[in-house]
Structure 1
């Protein structure tokens, strides 16, 4: 055998080995994404509460978009990986569809040019603590694969369309189209990138693939929705009901952190966009893929940096997927530069966050592989394990938050729904099931209407609380009035006030107190009053502020309340939450304060307020304040409870 033949044989063997390893890496990647080892309800928490509620909503065939209006859809278990017997199949199959879509997309991108890059995919997935990163990556690879399939034949990135590649592409499309069933806020990225991909195919005259992709996307979405027990008639309403939840997120849920983190993330993101632009085709063919990548980066940026309390891990880990996917299309030197920059910034951002350490980064792949292997082994050899752990978890929740003596349907405010499920109490929840998410007027009204309508629960377990140090009365503001008039305090259950539905509703009367224009950063005096003061404050961002809010987030607003006791307190204030009418005086900062208010006692009257805005460029200085006095008959049981706690 000649030297040339020997070299060719060695190269063929090495190429075969690399491709075999790449296939194995894709298989491992898919297995890691599927949560064979889910987590179980144990210690009650805010996140466990809504995750558990999503599972129960599916199990009880509640209508998403009507009975349940929340960020998540009927496939929420694919995101939460919280075990429930009724949603375990959805969790496994849904995760497998997403895994297949991601792996098929990466196979399209890398297999013909740089299959060795696929060996890095399991590492990127295992470092994705927040599963959003994995879900975001599926539309990204579909966009980039479409860009390659739409290239001119003489372009270096051209990918010839074959039946096998068309099949892989459609598998990825199926993964993208089902993302909104997991989380409604994924719809923008999923449909945006799919629309961009289909338009690119049309412009490249791949009409058959474009039409087939559209059909596969629609059919996949409809089948997934129906398979989760939802009627197709309700699918459009699911998306329309998401609108206020999604549009109000940036203002209400923002948490600020070091702006240096934003700047660091921007560096590789801009470099990636520029490199992709330079390596794309000239002319109009460049526009759509570059816009698609820019939109992906924008969504990832907003997802991570609006709520900068650990969510920025979504953005930082997404850099790894961007670098890995673009490395299949860039020149080698550019791919190395982008990869090194992305890894360096990702590590820097990881180290700046809670629990950030090199050991934590190094351990995550080991945890992922261990959980996958253990979960697979249990699924195959001990399927009863999951049911037993589910039962044990409910017992732990029950021990932590025991409830007794409640008969009939019940809801819990503001968040801890898991206690109902663990104690086998029928849940009849409000549409927006977590009070911190009631941050737009229509959402506030929907929850209040629920309490006064025919579907109102017979009991309510209520606790005064709020996230992000918000003014407590802002969360489910209108519902406070409904609770005071339509329910009676009958006792306590641990840290909760127990309330029971009252018929007919308690009589009330209102008297106008103040209707005036005011300014931010200046005091507004509350006149002497006898009763509960309900406030409506109209405060809006400037045009520049609206643009900043759309692109990023606004500076936080605070409300300062001067009390008649001489004390001044300060809370986070969400302007839109203050428009419908919230309890301003007395200040209700605890359960005891709420009981005192229901008993007719004013324990902390407010004499003056001031809205503190750090920027009049972004928030309008002029505001409008409307106050009215609400009077109602004191509740007898509340008076007894108030006396016993004094």
Structure 2
């Protein structure tokens, strides 16, 4: 009796703690308003601002009533500082009792004149109280400063956290209910569920996943900009006869248009083939969901597994791009295969599906293919080594034969096949190195990323300890998780990473056999279920908070998806592309006439707005995505080839990411200068025409080599007119490049006339070398450089920025003279 009583007491404690945790979560989410996201600034027009004097004798006090519970900080602008700019500015947040709630200091030497400076003051405020902002100099400042604030009682630039959406808070509440339910289920012998009810629940959850993940296969060209332009090219490449691996090199392949299908006037057959392929893909998706549902009805996938999988999908739901859907299907197919095989059930269709998906990804998007390929390699290795099962190798081997055969049917050239594979590997690696920002995941996003990664590791360890024979998929997902991590931390941020991660993560719960864990009498198994449920709950909550979706967004996304599926025949070009903001003048169009024309650097979809233009494309497709010597040299060769290159070249005065214009692809730019001359210009467009006789390739002779500190100002020798800079990553830089990302490298160019240019440079391209001449930064300078032959010469160069921290302390310089 004593033993039974203790068991009953434990159950009561579990129920009580679970309910208390649920109630605490509900209070925090809905009453305390604890769920928040990022921040938003309070806008203030400049004419409402006033200067206040700031001296060491008297702090400036401003009272305010908060607009939001969560204050992130304030912004101030510094005017008329002393020349030395020594000392600190101290900003304090106080309540009405003068209790300091938060404080932030900033050295004057770090503050830019006339720029808004941010002072973090993170605090939770009461909407019914008033608070005080105190701005004062430190004791070592004895001169008067002027700081800009609003003219009323509120210090300028309040930054508040955004409140979580109702959708976001609802999902997190449901996740907490899920965890509480699993904990109670673990304490008791389970909840009896009628077979008919179980069937309805499973069907409903499967239907939710079907609706959420069903891809929106149609895109429309709405703007002549960077991403829309290369997506447009993918749709016209087949019709216009461009061969990937021969004519163009990109991170997408000849079927890449499947990711962004556009119904264009001239690509009808290709569009129809694309729709047919997607019908087959979606049929496979429905079939795999049906197989999963059948396994659920047989008890091989538990109701906890399918519920947690659906919750993860709903929590991370965002507009779904099509390229990663194929990777999701590959993981889903492998999961179905693993569960069926562990139950001595095997079907050949899974082998066919996995090999077909991997082969298709090879011709669609190479980064998705590499992720899927790495996943299958790890899965096969795990099954072979740990489970002594060699049969899974056939999930992979046929595709390795099919891929080269299919390419050779598409383009019967072994050399081009090699270039297709090697080129895309180089471009993908170059993208990771050159398309990064210094910081993409910070603050709350960094906490979310670390928490999600820790939860995944815990899940993996528990799975290996309790169900190692069923853990191949979870183990293999580490490869795809790593690619997602790199994608998020390199450029696009955690929200975009979650867009990929959520699909992959929703697969993992399906591989966990909760029923077997419950029946396992071991101590580890006893604690594994609540820990696994907690990890899934934490991950889902961070996903929902990071994506920050809303019911309105969900409605619009589903509505847009339904509309596109029922209007496949609509024109894929929106009227917005005809706006005046990007129009090319009639004078320039008349000059081009029927001649061939290329567009530089990246608005290659110009033909959609001007169908009469005879636009042709160079090997990099658009010069704003990959900046590595390999593709730079191929594009340079194209512009130098009179039989391939266009007769005209339209240049738009723009760049991305603050690059020093035309120095991000130095070989291509020098080839353009050598082979084209100025015809005319109007607005932001400059028209060049191919020279009757191209300039001769200069003969370069090395005159000296030098070694300098990485951040030193390097003076150019008098006789030098070409330079090659060898930068080498330090050990820390190499590790960051592999496991995180390297920082951005900047360069200051000073010309001999005293003018200068400061911007971002591509570290790999410095090895190619560049001319020590002017690099035009606007249309006026470009016209002057091409028309009059600018005599500017680079006097010195200086590398700077956080990117220098990833390099060795010394760089090697090679100086050349040209004849």
Does the alignment reach a TM-score above 0.5? Answer: yes
State the secondary structure of the residue aligned to 1:489.
strand
Change in 2 beyond 3 A, CA 1:437/1:258 = closer
3-state DSSP of counterpart to 1:472: coil
Q: Which residue number corresponds to residue 276 of structure 1?
A: 460
Root mean square deviation of aligned Cα? 3.6
Deviation digits for residues 555-589 of structure 1 (CA, Å, limit 9, x no counterpart): 22111123445454421122211221224432421
Q: Does the C-alpha gap of structure 1 residues 627 and 189 become closer, same or farther in structure 2, counting only changes over 3 Å? A: same
Match of residue 811 from structure 2? 623
Residue 398 to residue 564, structure 1, CA distance change in 2 (3 Å): closer
Corresponding residue for 1:257? 440
Q: Aligned residue for 1:79?
A: 259
Measure how far apart 1:323 and its partner are: 4.2
State the match for 1:242 in structure 2: 424
Distance 2:677 2:639 in 1: 13
Q: Which residue of 2 aligns with 1:557?
A: 745
Deviations 1:588-630 (A, max 9, x none): 2123222222334437543221111547663112112234466
Choose from 598, 605, 620 the match for 1:418: 605
> For residues 231 and 535 of structure 2, what CA distance do their matches in structure 1 show?
37
CA distance in 1, matches of 2:312, 2:472: 26
Corresponding residue for residue 451 of structure 1: 639
Tell which deviates more after alignment, 16-25 or 437-446.
16-25
Task: Pick one of 535, 540, 549 that aligns with 1:338.
Answer: 535
Q: What TM-score do the two structures reach when normalised by structure 2?
A: 0.65
Q: CA deviation at 1:47?
A: 0.8
The correspondence of residues 51-200 of structure 1 with structure 2, limited to 5 A, is 51-84=231-264, 85-86=267-268, 87-100=270-283, 111-112=295-296, 113-114=301-302, 116-117=306-307, 120=311, 123=314, 126-131=317-322, 133-149=324-340, 158-163=342-347, 166-168=348-350, 170-200=352-382
Residue of 708, 712, 723 corresponding to 1:522:
712
2:666 counterpart (449, 468, 477): 477
- Report the count of equivalent residues: 592
**Which one of 481, 496, 506 corresponds to residue 297 of structure 1?**
481
- Cα deviation for residue 418 of structure 1 reads 1.2
Post-superposition CA distance 1:34-54 (Å, at most 9, x none) = 42xx23223211111111112
Residues 1:586 and 2:586 are matched in the alignment? no
Change in Cα spacing, 1:143 to 1:433, as seen in structure 2 (3 Å) is: same
Give the corresponding residue for 1:503.
692
* Aligned counterpart in structure 2 of residue 441 of structure 1, from 629, 636, 652: 629
Q: Which moved more, 1:451-460 or 1:204-213?
A: 204-213
Secondary structure, in 3 states, of the residue corresponding to 2:644? coil
How much has 1:140 moved relative to structure 2? 3.5
Larger helix proportion of the pair: 1
CA distance, structure 1, for counterparts of residue 399 and residue 284 of structure 2: 13
TM superposition shift of 1:473: 2.6
2:550 pairs with 361, 364, 369, which one? 361
Structure holding more strand per residue: 2
Cα distance change, pair 625–615 in 1 and its aligned pair in 2 (3 A): same
TM-score scaled to structure 1, two decimals?
0.81
Q: Are positions 1:215 and 2:398 aligned together? A: yes
Q: For the residues of structure 2 that align with 1:526 and 1:45, how far apart are their CA atoms?
A: 37
Q: Deviations over 1:243-272 (max 9, x none)?
A: 210121222111123433244212122212
Q: 2:6 — aligned with what?
A: none
How many Å apart are 1:329 and its aligned residue? 3.3
1:546 aligns with 2:734: yes
Structure-2 change in CA distance of 1:168 and 1:398 (3 Å) = farther
Correspondence for 1:3: none
Alpha-carbon separation, structure 2, partners of 1:630 and 1:420 = 39
> For residues 275 and 194 of structure 1, what CA distance do their matches in structure 2 show?
20
The 2-side partners of 1:122 and 1:345 are apart by 13
CA distance 1:24–1:267, shift in 2 (3 Å) = closer
Q: Does 1:597 align with 2:785?
A: yes
Q: Match for 2:229 among 26, 44, 49?
A: 49
How many Å apart are 1:457 and its aligned residue?
Answer: 1.6
In the alignment, is the contact (CA less than 8 A) between 1:541 and 1:619 conserved in 2?
yes
Hey, what's the Cα distance between the residues in 2 that align with 1:237 and 1:592? 39
Task: Say whether 1:612 aligns with 2:800.
Answer: yes
Distance 1:534 1:589, change over 3 A: farther
Change in Cα spacing, 1:473 to 1:220, as seen in structure 2 (3 Å) is closer
Q: Does the 8 Å contact 1:42/1:393 carry over to 2?
A: yes
